[in-house]
Amino acid sequence: MDHIYQLLCIPRAPSLSIKDFNNGNYNQFLEKSMKSASSLSKDAELKADASNQLAKLLSAKSHSPSNTLRTMNEMFAEAAKACHFDRERALIEWLQTCVSTVVEFGLDPASADNKIYTEKPPIEQKKSSDRGVAQSKNKKKPVQELEESEWDDDEFGYDRIGHSDDDYCPSDDDDAVVPKKQPGRKSSPAKKASSSSDTEVKKPKAPRKKKDDQVVPVSKKDATFPVIKEGAGSKALHKYIQDIPCANALSSDALSNGYFARAFFFPSKDSFNAFLSVLNSAQKSIDICVFAFTDDDVADALIAAKKRNVAIQIITDNQQAAGKGADAKRLQESYGIPFKTDNTTGYMHNKFAIIDNKTLINGSFNWSKGARFKNRENVLITNIPQCIKEYQGQFDSLWKEF
Q: How many CB atoms lie within 10 A of CB 240?
A: 21
Q: How many Cα atoms occupy the beta-carbon half-sphere of 228 within 13 Å?
A: 24
Beta bridge partners of 354: 287, 360
Helix (H) or strand (E) holding 94: helix 86-107
Contact 360, 325 (CB under 8 A): no
Are 260 and 246 in contact by the 8 Å Cβ rule? The answer is no
Can you say whether the dihedral through the CA atoms of 320, 313, 132, 298 is positive or negative? positive
Q: Residue 395's closest CA among 275, 313, 297?
A: 313
Going from the C-alpha of 117 to that of each of 92, 98, 121, 279, the distances in angstroms are 18, 10, 10, 25
Signed CA dihedral, 168, 361, 380, 301: sign only = negative
User: To 10 degrees, the CA torsion angle through 241, 245, 251, 253?
Assistant: -60
Cite the active site residues: 349, 351, 356
Euclidean distance between CA atoms 63 and 161, whole angstroms: 6
Residues 42 and 47: their CA atoms lie apart, in Å, by 8
Cα gap 354→374, rounded to integer Å: 25
> How far is C-alpha 340 from the geometric centre of its chain's CA atoms?
15
**Which residues, 6 or more positions from 240, have their beta carbon under 8 angstroms from its beta carbon?**
228, 232, 277, 281
HEC per residue, 32-85: HHHHCHHHHHHCHHHHHHHHHHHHHHHHCCCCCHHHHHHHHHHHHHHHHHHCCC
Stated as kind and residue range, the H or E segment containing 312 is strand 311-316
Exposed / middle / buried, residue 97 (Cβ in 10 Å: 0-12, 13-18, 19+): middle
